Structure 1
Amino acid sequence: MTPIQVLHGQPTPEELATVLAVVQSRAAVRAATGPARGPATAWTARTPRPLPPPGPHAWRTSLWAR
């Protein structure tokens, strides 16, 4: 694993332990699930949504959760 350096501030030992625990758990999950298929970006993470039906308020409903 790449060494971790504190660039700014003076973290307490508890804060460092918390950060290291999160980094180690994410590394363990990634190692257990195998290599990623590619970087997750806004283009690859979303599935295309259908366009809203045309109408006077279509723009308002275009960003509603589906």
Structure 2
Amino acid sequence: MTSEDNVEQPLLRVVNPDATPEEVAALVAVFSALGSAGVDAPKRPRPAWSNPARGVRRTHRHGLGGWRASGLPR
């Protein structure tokens, strides 16, 4: 296996040498818009400090060591 086998082929190849940069840019824009039509943007993870579940009060631990455990992080 040579290093030439690992080279990726381009996704778009301009065959017409008379194509202007504007025409190539227009084609790339159209193809990129078609390729992302059904895919949702990845959602950014919500930071823990702004999670609404932090506002919900939990019950304190009961039993032996419950008072000490109430001060520990959840």
What's the TM-score, normalizing by structure 2?
A: 0.36
Which structure is higher in RCO with an 8 Å CA cutoff and minimum separation 6?
1
Name whichever structure is richer in helix by fraction: 1
What's the TM-score, normalizing by structure 1?
A: 0.39
Q: Which has the larger radius of gyration?
A: 2
